[in-house]
A and B are shown apart, each in its own frame.
Chain A
Amino acid sequence: MRSILEEEVTIELQHINVKLLLKESENLKLDSVIPVFHSWIQGQIFDELLLDVADYRHVKDGPGLMLIGHEADYSLDNTDGLLGVRYNRKAPLPGTNLDRLIQATRSALVACQRLESDPRLNGKFHFNGQDVQLIINDRLLAPNTETTRQAVEPDFERFAVKLFGLSGSSHPDESRQGSDEPGGQFSHSRSSTPTVFRGAPLSMSDNKYYVNYSVDMRRLLSATIRSPKSFSTRELLNNLAA
């Protein structure tokens, strides 16, 4: 819950959404995923109770194809024209903010991994390896204000450290291990809509992780974290499990 103690604000992060942006592909059609989602319901393959498939492919930059669950939804979401595997946690969770960020991300990664490896999809759906979007789907707990962004930044950075295996992780790329201070590896920016780091990255020479926040107050609090190097879903899952 939020409390104000001197200048410190604590934000409870619930209903976390994680969206793993996919590699862009011109031939990416979502209709092949429909039977895949239905088969997941048949097998009830996740912890969440899976209920139904909702098809919004006809809506521009919309929710795309959704797998509706009781505790959470999964989707191939195309909001802002960015196609990604999205996990929308609906039921509250105990634990810390970091616990909940990890839970949501793990769920998204597992779903993404399944799509990557499903023979029916011919390898067409693939995490782009670098961009992870965090969205907090509760305006009252986490309004999209500068105060909130500053309050959650430490949680987001701690999460990114865990996810990308920074500072003491077993990541093989020694050159990435710079400062032990997480903040030194992060560069923060703001924009009115979620930024797509398309084309040439902002600056990859300094091995920084970029965290871009959407500052439109009407939108949900969201941050896109971009890694300077590419990870597989398996690597990220291993990092979260470590």
Chain B
Amino acid sequence: MKSSNSLWKEKLDGKMPEELAREIDIFETEIALRKQGKLEERLFAETRLRRGAYGQRYDNGQRNDGQKVQKLNFPSGDFTKGPNTMWDAPGMQRIKVPAGGLNAAQLETMAELAEEYSDGIAHVTTRQDFQLHYIHIDDTPALMRRLAAANITTREACGNSVRNVTACPYAGVCTDESFDVTPYARALSRFLLGHPDCQNFGRKFKPAFSGCAQHACGLTSLHDLGLIAKTRVNEATGREELGFEMYVGGGLGAVPYHAKLLDSFVPPEELLPLTQSIARVFARLGEKKNRNRARIKFLIQDLGIEKFRELVFEERKTLPFDPRWTEYIEQARSEFQEAPLKEAPRNETQSSLVTIGDLNGASENFKRWMKFNNRPQRQPGYVTVTIALPLGDITANQLRSLADIVRRFTKETIRTTVEQNFVIRWVSKTDLPELYKALAAAGLADVGAGALVDVTSCPGTDTCKLGISSSRGLAAELRRQVSEKSFQSDEAVQNLHIKISGCFNSCGQHHVADLGFYGVSRKIAGHAVPHFQVVLGGQWEHNAASYGLPVAAVPSKNIPQVVTRLTDRYVAERQNGETFKDFVKRTGKAELKNMLEDLTRPAAGDTSVFSDWGDPRQYTLGDMGEGECAGEVVSAVDFGLAAAERELFEAQLAFEKGEVDQAGKSAYHSMLAAAKALVRAENLDVSDDPDQIVSEFRQRYYDTRLFFDPFAGGKFAGYLFAAHEKSGQTYTEESSRYLIDEAQLFIDAAHSCSNRLGKPVVV
């Protein structure tokens, strides 16, 4: 939609990593192919999801306006960007931030994009990503280019892929960690990005790193792959070794699973290949038809962890060696050493923050901020400061101010957190008053990071098609109601976690909250009424050690009273400093349900319950749609053939421009791509070497006659062989013209072959 979209490619030429530039060019071509009707909507949907371009609520072209279902008459009519997803409907762009790490320039880029393509707000997610909402699909290549110029990719942010690799935001500065997991998280993120063994999943795959077992920061228990740093002493050498406990099969979703121990000690040189082996087993054996059972947790449940382990280690033995498995190790340790901007103040220790200066006379707000928003680092004299973002939202101006702040006080050591906040690391203690002033001036000094007032919420019905109740609406209301009260409350209450999901899919991580809520709907007096299930008994600590269970469904408008009642009773009855989780267990779900019973019904005559928080429309489930979280299951073969089509399209473009030699080369490469797609269905490890591709294709598909067209026989395969034989030549206008035609016929034949054979990837 933006007038300048086409200008950014030239403007940013040479200013981004080549592989990112190429990826975006590919996506732009796919958009063009879709507009020409040459790319099927399902395939386009998965390709855009794998670039983080997601759908939003109402993108099916209709919206309940409170009186009627209104058809949204977009200019592009019924043209789609996916099944039941209108082309012009606003979408969401998810932006990956591996391990949450950012620099000042990246914050400024995010500010620009939020202003120019979105609603002026960048949203931090519960997986350390950013999201921008109300994005037009036509703007996404330019947006991606601008991110790439800041060394950020959106690739595989959504879809059936490896999602963002998260890590404890205190990695490297935490007093309790075994060692800094940051370089390993980044290495795994780079290794898995676009990896061929990760392109055929039936569902998403989420890895997470933690530096310790006892705190919450990495939440490894609820991830598909969880890595917890640990050390051991080598008995032979007496030297300390670094490694990871490796867990697999965790996940929240509708029914949460705890990850199971795969290996108690994985050294760094095995981290990448073992993960690759897990990916292969998941791709091969994971469910693909029933999307509700396609996560790896179900595969492990069905097989049992013992059998799964056995399969993974068998797979490990078959992997062809990849130098990337080990070459990252030394580089990572030196590359990711963070350092402070300023020297530590002398004579400082790791003792309490209040020893810095004299807090007498300081404002109440500053004192509270010191208490709640700061924690000492293990490096004496330094502090990690948390910036609590309201509902995870930050404006463009605030992002720019934050960029100035991290430049002024640190070496730009800032990270996002899964609590939808930022942490600034390596702040000198003596800078805290000035830092506070700078943050306050930018509206970024909200007190209570990680406390009761710092409510976590998924986007919910604001923008998500799967949202049932308004999680953000409720979160905003709870923030408002508890904000003052929480700081007068018992300290135990102040530190409770509230997490809210708009539906049972747990994007708000309600299962691991002290007070968790997820959206449901109930009928009252013949009307649909938004409710939330109250989920109690979750444990955030110990890497999300336990999951809560639902206790009662309460109308959304009564939830604030639920919070008040539960916290008041906890304060009144808490024994011997027990945690809220222990209080829940001791009190018992039956009693807790009983105490909330009256709140499960609206007060007599209260009609406000028929609409949700912040939304005056009569509540309805009619705006729900099919989520795209599950993506579209598109086989690796289909993806490979789509890549071949795209390459051929580029050949045609080159031919049109008179670049005939390039056109011929691209046409030839498109045939190789199609052949490789088929070969890979039988041999995952086929290389990019044209000789090997053609040889394997001949052996597996031509000699066996599998590729033979019922009418044309092996004719189209002959085009590939001839093109390969002549591939070293310079193409003329005539020869490249013929080759483009032949390539199209070959690719069409490859599609037919794939359809006839129903090619899965190799078992």
Chain A residues close to B by CB (< 8 Å): 12, 14-15, 34-35, 38, 41-42, 44, 49, 51-63, 66, 68, 70, 73, 79-80, 90-92, 137-141, 218-220
Verify A56–B119 contact, CB threshold 8 A: yes
- Within the complex, what minimum Cβ distance (angstroms) separates B119 from chain A? 6
Nearest opposing residue in chain A for B613, CB measure: A55
Known: A42-B66, A58-B390, A58-B393. A63 touches B119 (CB 8 A): yes
Chain A nearest CB from B424 CB (Å) reads: 18
Given contacts A62-B120, A68-B90, A220-B115, contact A34 B614 (CB under 8 A): yes
Also in contact, A63 and B3, with CB within 8 A (given A70-B88, A140-B8):
no
Residues of A within 8 A of B696 (CB): none
Please report B residues at the A interface, Cβ cutoff 8 Å.
1-4, 7-8, 11, 57-58, 63, 65-67, 70, 72-75, 88, 90, 108, 111-112, 115-116, 119-121, 133-134, 136, 390-391, 393-395, 397-398, 400, 443, 462, 472-473, 476, 479, 614-617
Contact A42 B119 (CB under 8 A): no
Alpha-carbon separation in the docked complex, A59 to B389 (Å)? 8
Q: List 23 A-B contacts (CB under 8 A).
A: A15-B3, A38-B617, A41-B63, A41-B65, A49-B72, A54-B462, A55-B476, A58-B391, A61-B443, A63-B121, A66-B119, A68-B90, A68-B119, A70-B88, A79-B120, A90-B136, A92-B1, A137-B115, A138-B4, A138-B116, A140-B4, A141-B3, A218-B111
Question: Which residues of A have CB within 8 Å of B391?
Answer: 58
Q: Is the CB of B400 within 8 A of A41?
A: no
- With both chains docked as a complex, state the minimum distance between the C-beta of A122 and any C-beta of chain B, in angstroms: 17
Which chain A residue shows the least CB distance to B476? Answer: A58
Residues of chain A within 8 A (CB-CB) of B473 are 55
A70 to B87, CA, bound (A): 12
CB-based contact B119/A138 at 8 Å: no
Among A35, A68, A218, contact of B616 (Cβ-Cβ < 8 Å): A35
Tell me which residues across on chain A come within 8 A of B398, comparing CB atoms: 60-61
A56 to chain B, nearest CB (A): 6
Contact of B395 among A66, A79, A90 (CB under 8 A): A79
Q: How far is it, in angstroms, between the C-alpha of A44 and the C-alpha of B63 when the chains are bound? A: 12
Q: Select from chain B the residue with minimum beta-carbon distance to A90.
A: B1
Minimum Cβ distance to chain B for residue A66 (Å): 6
**Shortest 10 CB-CB contacts between residues of A and residues of B:** A60-B443, A140-B4, A35-B616, A14-B3, A58-B390, A63-B120, A92-B3, A42-B65, A62-B395, A59-B393
Residues of A within 8 A of B121 (CB): 56, 59, 62-63
B74 touching A49 by the CB < 8 A rule?
yes
**Contact call B65/A15, Cβ cutoff below 8 A:** no
Kindly list chain A residues whose C-beta atoms are within 8 Å of the C-beta of B3: 12, 14-15, 92, 138, 141
Q: Are A61 and B73 in contact (CB under 8 A)?
A: no
Question: How many interface contacts (CB-CB < 8 Å) are there between A and B?
Answer: 120
Bound CA span A15–B63, Å:
26
Please indicate the chain A residues that have their CB under 8 angstroms from the CB of B63 in the complex: 41, 51-52
Given contacts A58-B390, A59-B390, A139-B112, is CB(A51)–CB(B72) below 8 Å? Answer: yes
Q: Which residues of B contact A42 (CB under 8 A)?
A: 65-67, 70
Q: Is the CB of A68 within 8 A of B393?
A: no
Cβ A58 vs Cβ B479 within 8 A: yes
In the complex the two chains form, is A38's CB within 8 Å of B119's CB?
Answer: no
Candidate in A56, A91, A140, A141 with the most chain B CB atoms within 10 angstroms:
A140
* A residues in contact with B390, CB < 8 Å: 58-59
CB nearest to B399 among chain A residues? A218
Chain B residue, CB-CB nearest to A55: B614
Residue on B nearest A31 in the bound complex, by CB = B614
Q: With A35-B616, A62-B120, A141-B3 given, is the CB distance from A49 to B73 under 8 Å?
A: yes
Contact A54 to B119, CB < 8 A, known contacts A41-B65, A59-B395, A218-B400: yes
- Distance to closest chain B CB from A225 (angstroms): 21
- Extra contacts besides A137-B116, A218-B111 (5): CB < 8 Å: A49-B73, A54-B119, A63-B120, A63-B121, A90-B2
Q: Check if A218 sits within 8 Å of B108, measured CB to CB.
A: yes
CA distance A54 to B119 in the complex (A): 9
SS class, residues of chain A in contact with chain B: loop
> Which residues on the B side are within 8 Å of A73 (C-beta)?
119, 134
Alpha-carbon separation in the docked complex, A61 to B65 (Å): 28
Complex interface: chain A residues within 8 A of B615 (CB): 34, 38, 53
CB distance from A109 to the nearest CB of B (A): 21
Query: Could you tell me the distance between the alpha carbons of A15 and B258 in the complex, rounded to whole angstroms?
Result: 49
A99 to chain B, nearest CB (A): 14
Beta-carbon nearest neighbor of A57 in chain B: B476
What is the chain B residue whose CB lies nearest that of A17? B115
- Contact A51:B614 (CB < 8 A) given known A14-B3, A80-B397: no
| Complex: A51 Cα to B58 Cα, angstroms | 8
Complex Cα distance A140/B8, Å?
8
* Minimum C-beta distance from B549 to chain A (A): 30
Cβ B70 vs Cβ A41 within 8 A = yes
Interface centre among A44, A59, A79 (most CB of B within 10 A): A59
Residues of chain A lying within 8 A (CB to CB) of residue B88: 70
A141 CA / B70 CA spacing, docked (Å) = 36
- Are A141's CB and B120's CB within 8 A? no
Report the separation of the CA atoms of residues A218 and B109 in the bound assembly, to the nearest whole angstrom.
Answer: 10
CA distance A204 to B462 in the complex (A): 46
A58 to B67, CA, bound (A): 28
Q: Could you tell me if B1 and A91 are in contact, using CB atoms closer than 8 angstroms?
A: yes
- Least Cβ–Cβ distance between B625 and chain A, in angstroms: 14
A60 to B134, CA, bound (A): 21
- The minimal Cβ–Cβ distance linking B230 to chain A, given in whole angstroms, is 40
Check if B2 sits within 8 Å of A38, measured CB to CB.
no
A56 near B614: Cβ-Cβ < 8 Å = no
Inside 8 A of A70's CB, which chain B residues have their CB?
72, 74-75, 88, 90
In the assembled complex, the Cα of A58 lies from the Cα of B395 at a distance in Å of 11
- Max chain A CB contacts within 10 Å: which of B8, B63, B111, B119? B119
Task: Give Cα A218–Cα B472 distance, bound, in whole angstroms.
Answer: 30
- For the complex formed, measure the closest distance between the CB of A144 and the CB atoms of chain B, giving whole angstroms: 11
- CB contacts (< 8 Å) of A61 on chain B: these are 395, 397-398, 443
Set of chain A residues within 8 Å of B65, measured between Cβ atoms: 38, 41-42
- Residue from A15, A54, A60, A139 whose CB has the most chain B CB atoms within 10 Å: A60
B134 partner residues in chain A, CB cutoff 8 A? 54, 68, 73
- Whether the Cβ atoms of B394 and A59 lie closer than 8 Å is yes
CB <8 Å contact, B66 and A38: yes
**Chain B proximity of A4: nearest CB distance (Å):** 15
Chain B's nearest CB lies how many Å from the CB of A13?
10
Residues of B with C-beta under 8 A to A44: 70
Please measure, in the bound complex, the distance between the C-alpha atom of A53 and the C-alpha atom of B108, giving whole angstroms.
26
- A220 partner residues in chain B, CB cutoff 8 A: 115
Contact B8 A56 (CB under 8 A): no
Roughly how many angstroms separate A19 CA and B632 CA in the complex, as a whole number? Answer: 42
The distance in angstroms between the C-alpha atoms of A55 and B613, with both chains bound, is 11
CB contacts (< 8 Å) of A91 on chain B: these are: 1
- Chain A: minimal CB distance from B576 (Å): 37
- Most A CB contacts (10 A, CB to CB) among B8, B88, B115, B121 go to B115
Neighbouring A residues of B476 by C-beta, 8 Å: 55, 57-58
Contacts of B393 in A (CB 8 A): 56, 58-59, 62
Complex Cα–Cα for A45 and B617 (A): 18
Taking CB atoms, residues of chain B closer than 8 Å to A53 are 615
Inter-subunit contact A140/B119 (CB<8 Å): no
**B residues near A58, Cβ cutoff 8 Å:** 390-391, 393, 476, 479
Residue picked from A61, A90, A139, most chain B C-beta under 10 Å: A90
Cα distance A225–B330 when bound, in Å?
A: 58
Separation of A79 and B111 alpha carbons in the complex (Å): 13
Are the CB atoms of B119 and A141 closer together than 8 Å?
A: no
Docked-complex contact A139 and B58, CB < 8 angstroms: no
CA distance A68 to B397 in the complex (A): 20
List of B residues within 8 angstroms of A218 by Cβ: 108, 111-112, 400
- Complex alpha-carbon distance, A137 and B119, angstroms: 11
Contact status B2-A15, CB under 8 Å = yes
Q: Are A79 and B397 in contact (CB under 8 A)?
A: yes
Q: When the two chains form their complex, are residues A140 and B7 in contact, meaning their CB atoms are under 8 A apart? A: yes
Q: B473: nearest residue on chain A (CB-CB)?
A: A55
Docked Cα-Cα span, A177 to B332, in Å, equals: 70
